[in-house]
């Protein structure tokens, strides 16, 4: 197996080692502030791995299988209960949906008249309707009569 330790530096200036084998990451370290500390950790790991033993804390297969069956039954019962509750709720709501749909179907469809709303530019370009002048305004706007001049 071709395995190697790679020392990498992150954006904060911390160093980590990564143990890889055949392109797969086997282990990563905690961050170290100095590169020398990272190298010392690699050497410590190399020395410890040579004499390391394998400890197994396996539990017997039968109790695990029984626990899994028991848990499976409990999950199955809970799932069945949820399904029946959901079905009851759907049945309770379904008649309401039918009556609402039936009332919608019995109403005659009335076509809606939609007129496009005028845009701001169209409103600005349209001439404004003339208002009826008030008596005062009418008097002021009327052309003034000239006094008759005596003929000469």
Residue carrying the six token digits 């695990």: 64
Distance CA 106, CA 5 (A): 77
pLDDT score recorded for residue 9: 93
Q: Which residues contact 30 (CB under 8 A, 6 or more apart)?
A: 16
pLDDT score recorded for residue 33: 94
pLDDT score recorded for residue 56: 85
pLDDT score recorded for residue 58: 74
pLDDT tens per residue, the chain (152 residues)? 688 999 999 999 999 999 999 889 999 999 999 999 999 999 999 998 888 888 888 766 555 556 656 666 667 676 666 677 766 666 666 555 555 555 555 555 666 666 566 666 666 666 665 566 666 666 666 666 666 666 76
- Domain ranges in the chain? 3-50, 60-103
Quote the pTM value.
Answer: 0.37
pLDDT score recorded for residue 28: 92
pLDDT score recorded for residue 52: 85
pLDDT score recorded for residue 13: 93
pLDDT score recorded for residue 50: 85
Instruction: Identify the DSSP state of 32.
Output: B
Q: Beta strand 15-21 with 24-28: parallel, antiparallel or unpaired?
A: antiparallel
Q: Which residues contact 15 (CB under 8 A, 6 or more apart)?
A: 7, 8, 9, 31, 32, 33, 34, 35, 37, 38
- CATH code: domain 3-50 is 3.30.160.160
CA dihedral of 78, 84, 90, 91, whole degrees rounded to 10 = -160
């Amino acid at each position: 197996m071709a395995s190697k330790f790679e020392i990498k530096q992150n954006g904060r200036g911390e160093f980590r080692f990564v143990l890889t084998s055949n392109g797969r990451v086997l282990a990563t370290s905690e961050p170290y502030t100095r590169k020398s500390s990272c190298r010392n950790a690699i050497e410590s790991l190399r020395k410890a791995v040579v004499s390391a033993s394998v400890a197994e804390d396996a539990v017997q297969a039968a109790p695990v299988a029984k626990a899994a069956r028991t848990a499976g039954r409990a999950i199955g019962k809970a799932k069945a209960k949820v399904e029946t509750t959901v079905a009851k709720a759907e049945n309770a709501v379904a008649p309401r949906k039918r009556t609402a749909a039936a009332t919608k179907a019995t109403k005659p469809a009335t076509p809606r008249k939609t007129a496009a709303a005028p845009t701001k530019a169209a409103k600005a370009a349209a001439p404004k309707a003339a208002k009826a002048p008030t008596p005062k305004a009418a008097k002021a706007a009327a052309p003034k009569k000239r006094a008759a001049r005596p003929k000469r």
